[in-house]
Structure 1
Amino acid sequence: MATAAVAGALGLLWDWLWSERFWLPHNVSWADLERPGVGNFPRARHVLSAFPLAAGIFSVRLLFERFIAKPCAIHLGIQESVPHQAQPNAILEKVYTSITKCPDGKRLEGLSKQLDWDVRKIQGWFRHRRNQDKPPTLTKFCESMWRFTFYLCIFCYGIRFLWSSPWFWDTRQCWHNYPYQDFLIMFVHHLATIGLITFSYINNMVRVGTLVMCLHDSSDFLLEAAKLANYAKYQRLCDTLFVVFSVIFVITRLGIYPFWVLNTTLFESWEIIGPYSSWWLFNGLLLVLQVLHIVWSYLIAQIACKALVRGKVSKDDRSDVESSSEEEDVPTGNKKCPYDGSSSNGANQVNGHMRNNCWAEE
C-alpha cells in the first residue's frame, strides 16, 4: 500500500512538473513532438549529453592552454611568477583561514603581543599569504586566451548560421509554426550553459534563443582580448579594446536587446502564438536580464570613462599588486588601500558580472 501511495505521489509530481499547459502553447502536446515524420525536436533528456561534452571541452581547454596559449604568453614576455611565500605560522594561518583578510586593529594588536611580532610584519604576512592564493599572470593570460578563442568561434559560428536564417532578418519568423522548429544551433549552445538556456531548450524556443545567444556573444571576445593585452602590458591596446567592448556592450544590451529581442518575445509572440504559463516565466527572466544589462552598462561606462580620462584601465583586481616590493618601503600612512575601488581592473570586474549572465557564458 505504502509503495503504491509513494508511486502515485511521484506520478502526480511528475505530471505536474511536465504539465503541457505550462510548457507548451494551447492545442500542442508532448505527443505531438514525438510523432514520427513531424520532425526532429529537442527532448529534455538531450540535456544529459551536456556532461560528456563538457568533459570533452574541458580536455580541449587544457590542451589549448598548454600547447597554444602558454607558448604565446612566453613569446610575449609573460613568465611564470612565484609569489613571495609567507613564513609558516599556525596561529596566523588559522586566522587567515577564518577571515582571509588582515584583522582589524584590536585583533591585530592581540596577535602582535601573542607572537611578539611587529604589527607591520603581521600585515605583511597576510599580504603575502593572500598573494599565494592568487593565480599568476601567465595563468590568467592562458584563461583569457581560451575564453577569447571560444567566444570568438562561437560568435562567428552563430553569425554564419543565422545569416541565412529568416528569423535573423524578421523576428516574427521566430514564432511561425512554433514549437515545430529546428534546434541544431541551440543544441550546440545549450550544452555549454544553464538557467535560461535549459528552460528555453525544454520549451523549444530555439529560434529566438539563437538571436539572444549571438547578441550576447558579440562583445564577450573583445573583453577577453582587452585582458590579454593588459596581461601582455600593451596598455594602449588594452584601453582601446576595452572602450570598443564598452561601446558594443551598451549598444547590444541597451539598444538591440530591448528593441529587437524583447520586442519579439513580448509583443510579436503574443500576437502570433499568444501567451501561456511558461511564456510569462520566460519573458520575466528576460526582463530580469535587461535590468542586469542596465547595471552592467553603468559599471562598464564608469570604467571606460576612467580609461579615457586617465589614459589607463586600472590594474587587475586579481594581480599581485599587494606583493610589490615598493610597498614595503612606503610609510603606512601614505600607502594606498589595496582594496580601493580604483585598483580594480575593468576587464576582470566586468567579466565577473557577465559570468552570471546565463545567456552569455560561460
Structure 2
Amino acid sequence: MLRPLLDSFWTPNVWLPPNTTWEDIAPGPHKAVRYTDYRHVFFPIPLAFVFIALRFILQRTVYAPFGKHLGIKDTRNRKAPNNPKLEAAYRASPKLKQPCGLAKQLDMTERQVERWWRLRRSQDKPSTLVKFCENLWKFTFHSSNFVFGLCILWNKSWLWDIDHAYLGYPHQGVTDDVWWYYMISAAFYLSLTISQFWDVRRKDFWQMFLHHVATVSLISFSWVCNLHRIGTLVLLLHDAGDIFVEAVKASKYANYQKTCDTLFLGLIIVWIGTRIIIFPYHLLWSTWIRAPMLLPMFPAYYIFNSLLLLLLMLHVVWTYLILQMAYRTIQAGKMEGDIRSSSDVSDSPATNNHHENNINNKKSVHHPTTYTNTPHTPKF
C-alpha cells in the first residue's frame, strides 16, 4: 500500500536532473563512480544513541569534575514547601494565571501563593554545572567536527573552487571520509533533537526543535540526491561559529569573564564572517547564480535553495540579537578595545534565567547583557 505513495514522492522528475533516474545513481560494483546509498540515511539513528551515551559518560567523568574544579557548584535552587494542591495546579499549568482564586481555595494569601510559585518554577531550572556540561559537550563536538571537516575537505576541489560542487553532477563519487563526515553530523543533530526534551529548556525550544528536524531532513535529502559536496561546505561553515557560541556560554558559567569577553568578540567576528558574509555572498550566490549555469535545474534544487534562504533569515535574526547584546555591553561597560563587563549575569529581560539571576546575584551588575542567551545556531 505504501509503495505507490513512496514512488510518487520519490519521483526522479522532482529529485533528480532531467533524463536521470534513480538507477543511474544507484551504487553498484560495476559503476565507475561510487554513489551515495540512500539506505545509509538510517545509519545515523543508532549512532545518535551512541552520541547520547557518550555525552552522559563524559558529563559524569570529565565535564562535571572539570566544572567543579573551576569552582562551579552543583547547587540546586531552594525547594518549594510541599503542597499537593498547588503542585497539582502547577503541573496543570506552570504559568500562574489566577493567584487570587488559588489563595481563596487554599486559605492562603495571594503573596504566599506567588512566592510558592516562584520557588517551584526556580526548582525546575537546571544548575549552573548542568548548563556548563551541556555547553562543553557541544563545544567538544563542534570543535572536533570542524577540525575533522577541514582536514577531509582540504584536498577536495570544491573547497577551493565551489563550481566543482556542481560540475559533473549527479555523477559525483563519495569518499569514505566524506561518508563519515555526513553520518557523524547527521547523528549529532539527531541526538540533539532527542535530548532537547531533557536539556536546558530555552525560550526558543520549539524553534530549535524545528531547526533540528529541518537540519536532519536537509542532510538526509541531500545525501539521497547525491548533493553531498555543497552539504559539506555548509556543515563546515556553520561549525566554525558554533565553536564560539558554546565556548562563550561555558566560560560565562565558569566566571572566566575576561576569557568570555575575548571569546564573545571572536564570536561576533566569526559569526558575521561566516553567517552574514560567506554564507550568502559565496554559498547562496553559487547555488542561485552559478549552479544554473553549470547544470540543468530541477524542482528539488528550488526546495533546497528555499531552505537555505530560511537559514539565512534565521542567521539575520540571531545576528541582530548578538549585536544587540554587544551594543548593550559596550554602552554600559564603555568598551575600549575589548568587551568589558562584570562577572555576574544580569537580570536583563532578554535573559532566559531572569528570575534565577535575581535570586543568586551577589555583586553589582555593570551591564545589562548576558551571554547565556546567545542563540543556537542553525546548520545545514
- TM-score after normalising by structure 2: 0.81
Higher alpha-carbon deviation: 55-64 or 174-183:
174-183
CA contact (8 A) 2:132 2:253 kept: yes
Counterpart selection for 2:352 from 309, 317, 320 = 317
Cα distance in structure 1, aligned partners of 2:374 and 2:90: 24
2:58 maps to a residue whose letter is F
1:242 corresponds in structure 2 to 264
2:248 corresponds in structure 1 to 226
1:350 maps to a residue whose letter is P
1:141 corresponds in structure 2 to 132
1:163-202 aligned at under 5 Å gives the runs 163-181=154-172, 182=174, 183-184=178-179, 185-193=181-189, 194-202=216-224
Cα distance in structure 1, aligned partners of 2:80 and 2:359: 11
CA contact (8 A) 2:15 2:299 kept: yes
State which structure, 1 or 2, has the greater radius of gyration over its C-alpha atoms.
1
> Counting helix residues as a fraction of each chain, which structure ranks higher?
1
- TM-score after normalising by structure 1: 0.85
1:73 corresponds in structure 2 to 67
2:137 maps to a residue whose letter is W
After TM superposition, give the deviation of residue 323 of structure 1 in Å: 4.0
CA contact (8 A) 2:332 2:368 kept: no
Q: Percent identity?
A: 34
Distance of aligned partners of 1:343 and 1:92 in 2 relative to their CA distance in 1, 3 Å threshold: farther
Aligned residues: 329
Distance of aligned partners of 1:179 and 1:189 in 2 relative to their CA distance in 1, 3 Å threshold: farther
1:90-169 aligned at under 5 Å gives the runs 90-103=84-97, 107-169=98-160
> Helix, strand or coil for the counterpart of 2:126?
coil
- Spell out, residue by residue over 1:255-284, the C-alpha distance to the aligned partner (whole angstroms, 9 max, x if none): 100111011111211111121011111111
CA contact (8 A) 2:80 2:119 kept: yes
1:337 corresponds in structure 2 to none
Cα distance in structure 1, aligned partners of 2:39 and 2:187: 12
After TM superposition, give the deviation of residue 128 of structure 1 in Å: 0.9
> Helix, strand or coil for the counterpart of 1:40?
coil
Cα distance in structure 2, aligned partners of 1:123 and 1:232: 31
1:62 partnered with 2:87: no
Cα distance in structure 1, aligned partners of 2:358 and 2:293: 58
After TM superposition, give the deviation of residue 317 of structure 1 in Å: 2.0
Extract unaligned runs of 5+ from structure 1: 1-6, 327-341
Counterpart selection for 1:290 from 301, 312, 315 = 312
After TM superposition, give the deviation of residue 246 of structure 1 in Å: 2.1
CA contact (8 A) 1:158 1:214 kept: yes
CA contact (8 A) 2:67 2:129 kept: yes
Cα distance in structure 2, aligned partners of 1:203 and 1:325: 52
Cα distance in structure 2, aligned partners of 1:224 and 1:189: 17
Cα distance in structure 1, aligned partners of 2:379 and 2:280: 17
Extract unaligned runs of 5+ from structure 2: 190-215, 334-340
